[in-house]
Amino acid sequence: KDNPNEIRSANDVLASFGDSARIFEDLTLCNMIDYLPYVFVREWVEIPKSREFRCFVKNKQLRGISQYYYREKYYYLDNSYNRELIKSQAEGMLEDMQELGFNLNNLVFDMVYRDNSELSLLIEVNPYSSWTDPCLFDWALDKFEEFEFKWLQSLDKISEVKDENWERAKRNGIA
Averages of pLDDT over runs of 10 residues in the chain (175 residues) are: 70 81 80 78 85 96 96 94 95 90 86 81 88 92 96 76 55 44
pLDDT confidence of residue 53? 98
pLDDT confidence of residue 27? 81
Per DSSP bridges, beta strands 52-58 and 61-67 are: antiparallel
Q: Are 55 and 108 in contact (CB under 8 A)?
A: yes
Distance (Å, whole) CA 154 – CA 165: 16
Per DSSP bridges, beta strands 148-150 and 61-67 are: parallel
Q: Are 103 and 89 in contact (CB under 8 A)?
A: no
Q: What is the pTM of this model?
A: 0.81
pLDDT confidence of residue 158? 66
Q: Are 126 and 107 in contact (CB under 8 A)?
A: yes
